[in-house]
Amino acid sequence: MADHSNTHGQGDAHGHGEVAVEESTLSNTGILTFCVLTAIVFFGSAMALPGLFYRYTDSVRREMTVAGPSPELAKLRAQEDKRLGGYGFVDKEKQIVHIPIDVAMQKVVEEAKK
């Protein structure tokens, strides 16, 4: 069998040389300081980010209000008003029609009374 005896100062029998172990430890105050600073950064960010978000969204809303509705939105609203307030075909081949929304609501109320 191999001889595993350790001779001090000359390394071990396997040729690895001397092995040194660092015996310094972290101080408790250093660890506590790191944890406190991390908590301050985390909770400070958690408190600051919603404020920044709401400030940004308010500025975007103000810009949209000042600029007014876009032409595409005005066109879409006109089409919706025409569809909801008038009569017309949904599918001419199948004879499916749409009626004004107020007339449709009145018909639903009348059918519910029966």
Q: Answer yes or no: is 15 within a domain.
A: no
Give the per-residue pLDDT at 70: 80
Q: Please give the pLDDT value at position 64.
A: 79
Percent above pLDDT 90 for the chain = 36
| Claim to verify: residue 84 and residue 112 sit in the same structural domain | yes
Residues 12 and 3 sit within 8 Å (Cβ to Cβ): no
Q: What is the pTM of this model?
A: 0.35
Closest by Cα among 113, 80, 111, 85 to 99 = 85
What is the rounded average pLDDT of the residues 4-25? 65
Distance CA 46, CA 43 (A): 5
Do the domain assignments include residue 6? no
Q: How confident is the model at residue 20 (pLDDT cuts 50, 70, 90)?
A: confident
Is residue 1 in some structural domain?
A: no
- Summarize pLDDT for 30-81 with one digit per residue, the tens: 999 999 999 999 999 999 999 999 999 999 888 878 777 788 888 999 988 8
Residue 39 domain flag: yes
Domain containing 62 equals 25-68
**Distance (Å, rounded) from C-alpha 72 to C-alpha 107?**
33
When pLDDT is averaged across residues 97-108 and rounded to a whole number, the result is 90
Burial 19-50 (b: 16+ CB within 10 A, else e): eeeeeeeeeeeeeeeeeeeeeeeeeeeeeeee
Give the count of domains, the chain. 2
